[in-house]
Amino acid sequence: MSDETYYLTTPIYYVNATPHLGHAYTTILADTMARFQRLRLGPEQVYFLTGTDEHGDKVAQAAAKAGESPQAYADRISGVFKETWKRLGLTPDQFIRTTTDHHKRTVQRFLQQIYDSGDIYFGEYGGHYCFGCERFYTEKELQDGKCPDHRTAPTFIKEENYFFRMGKYQDWLIDHINGHPDFIRPERYKNEVLSFLRDPLEDLCISRPRARLEWGIPIPFDEQFVTYVWFDALINYISALGWPEGEEFRRFWPAAQHLIAKDILKPHAIYWPIMLKAAGIEPYRHLNVHGYWKIEEAKMSKSLGKVVRPLDLADAYGRDAFRYFLLREMTFGLDASFSEEALVARLNADLANDLGNLYSRVLKLIERFYGGNITGWTYSGTFSDATRDALTEITAAMKRFAFSEALGAIWNLVSATNKYLVTNEPWKQDPGDPRTKAVLFTAAETLRRIAVLLMPFLPETAERMMRGLGIDAPPTSIRLEEGLSLGLLDRSLERQIREVPALFPRVESATPRSSKNRKTTAAPSEVSPDEITIEEFRRLDLRVAEVVEAEAVPGSKKLVRLRVRLTGEERTIVAGLREQYPPETWPGKQVILVANLKPTTLMGIQSQGMVLAAEDEEGKIVLLTPEQRIPPGSQVR
């Protein structure tokens, strides 16, 4: 077993907003890379970290606006991040939060250590402070006197603070970057950092007076101050591993691969390596920087009011289709434009057409010709080299975080298999001819190998493809090379194609499915406890249903069992309205149904939804019905 380890991190996201497409993108990239490395090195050799950044002005302000304490607010939003990653099927090994005692103690220990070694001093500073970015800007960095990110005028602040002697390490950092040419990659970002380092590096103000900001980690050597949010946040990458004594720190540091977008290049490329150096810790291995998703050519950010909710897209198109689009569409390091139309186009062309059609065509022919039996067939080996070459290409591309290229290598294989079928036309041949069998089996085995290669990228699809081919997904301990060679051709085993639904149904509609959910107008920056967002409301599936029959539930005075009709389906509903509406009054009535309520069992009868009624102060109950008759199944909006 290799003793190489791989430690992969995402930024820890601020809890002043709920997750949007940008956060999902970085975390999905990291998940894909973590899955890939687990299949390359073994699961125990890989550690994938994400989490939330919970201190600072921004969070304190968002909490105040929501009428909550900062901690309660951070707990809630951090929970939304965690839940979102779970629902997207992501697999971090740890979700770190900066408000845990462990993290706070680690930050204090780190600060004390560099204070003791003389790299922190007390002084006065005046500068242009952007509350959005939580940092001071130099005159040169401002654009037309405004913060380049938030486009708001900064506030001039003068105060006494603690400073970190960054300037002292400038030459060391330049040498380190030059000596390790891919320390920061892609190259454009390395060049950006080196060009920034041509000017003398100012010392970094690392504290905020507690009188101005309470919500932070107290500086251990002066309780009147809290630590600057970036000092707190960056240290998460080692506190998560239990620095300095932790077993995981020993195993995974410095094999660290940080993954970020270009917005936070400077803290990661300059502050962080210098902080590590000052504390006597080896620098991380690589900083991997991706570009920005833009919507309608504007940078997508909450403050500019253009937000795309990742879960809406994953719900509308499927997790793997969403994942595929993000991985394929953006060239690592460059910006890309997001549009739902582009997502649908890729889904239809690459997933439904190229891969999905190939898969169902091969399986259907095997079903038709041989009753789905694929035991003991031979494999012509036509694609053995091609699948191995694809793995070599994928491995090389993944080393550079070139996800789109890696998928390109898999899709070349998909195209080659499609071409092979078109050339051999097995559908026109005699099923009894062994060559027909060999062609179809070769295609089936190549599809199995494609599924193996897809495991890190489209995990659910890979599993479905294998299941359809009559095999279970390989154990998580398998390596990709093994997966390629352990074929269907274990001749002694009974193999039967299983019936599978289309991998990716085409999306016909010209109107994107999640457009009703998409926010292109100002998005709420936080959710107040008494309000729900429009997305939350839209999760309710309210429908008109027509009652077909009704009967009293034996043993209950209140309950009535209804049989209702929606479009093309009937359901049983148990309603507690028998006293107001006896069974004979129901048939033919149209009611409003909460159609996606989790089914529940009442008096032994499963109720598949809830009928809406209004109740006045005296307890009088009236049923809600549409004002005119409308086809059953119609949506209530």
Measured between alpha carbons, how far is 592 from 636 in angstroms, rounded to an integer?
Answer: 8
Query: Rule CB under 6 A: is residue 233 a binding residue for ligand MSP?
Result: yes
Residue 133 is a catalytic residue: yes
Which listed residue (55, 286, 302, 306) is catalytic? Answer: 302
Residue 40 or 258: the one with the smaller Cβ distance to ligand MSP is 258
**What are the C-alpha distances in Å from 527 to residues 132, 353, 495, 537, 613?**
19, 40, 52, 13, 28
Q: Tell me how far, at minimum, the Cβ of 339 lies from ligand MSP, in Å.
A: 14
DSSP class per residue in 559-583 = -EEEEEEETTEEEEEEES-TTTS-G
Instruction: Give CA separation, 172 vs 238, 343, 411, in Å.
Output: 21, 45, 44
Instruction: Give the integer Cα–Cα distance in Å for 131 and 58.
Output: 7
| Number of residues near ligand MSP (by CB under 6 A) | 19
Q: Quote the tokens at residue 388.
A: 């191995």
Task: Please report whether residue 441 would count as binding ligand MSP according to CB under 6 A.
Answer: no
Calpha distance 23→79 (Å, rounded): 15
> Could you say whether residue 594 binds ligand MSP (CB under 6 A)?
no
Least spacing, CB of residue 139 vs ligand MSP, in Å: 24
Site for ligand MSP in 51-110 (CB under 6 A): 53
Taking the C-alpha atoms of residue 237 and residue 243, their distance in angstroms, rounded to an integer, is 9
At its nearest, how many Å lie between ligand MSP and the CB of residue 424?
44
Euclidean distance between CA atoms 133 and 577, whole angstroms: 56
- Binding region for ligand MSP (CB under 6 A) out of 214-222, 231-239, 380-388, 624-632: 231-239
- DSSP states along 70-83: HHHHHHHHHHHHHH
Contact 230, 58 (CB under 8 A): no
Cβ nearer to ligand MSP, comparing 73 with 383: 73
User: Is 205 part of the annotated catalytic residue set?
Assistant: no
Write the interaction track for ligand MSP spanning residues 2-21; mark x where CB under 6 A is met and - where it is not.
Answer: ---------xxxx-------
302 part of the active site: yes
- For the window 299-338, what string marks contact with ligand MSP as x by the rule CB under 6 A? -x--------------------------------------
Question: Cα–Cα distance between 535 and 313 in angstroms, integer?
Answer: 12
Helical spans, DSSP H, in 455-604: 459-468, 480-485, 534-538
Active-site entry in 58, 147, 205, 290:
147
Cα separation, 109 vs 112, whole angstroms? 5
Check 58, 128, 130, 258 and give the catalytic one: 130
Decide whether 55 or 495 has the Cβ nearer to ligand MSP. 55
Candidates 81, 164, 183, 292; binder of ligand MSP (CB under 6 A) is: 292
Answer yes or no whether residue 25 interacts with ligand MSP by CB under 6 A: yes
Which CB, 22 or 483, lies closer to ligand MSP?
Answer: 22
- Token reading at 190: 């390395």
Residue among 225 and 293 whose Cβ is closer to ligand MSP: 293
Positions that interact with ligand MSP (CB under 6 A):
11-14, 22-23, 25-26, 53, 233-234, 236, 260-261, 263-264, 292-293, 300
Q: So which residues are the catalytic ones?
A: 20, 23, 130, 133, 147, 150, 299, 302
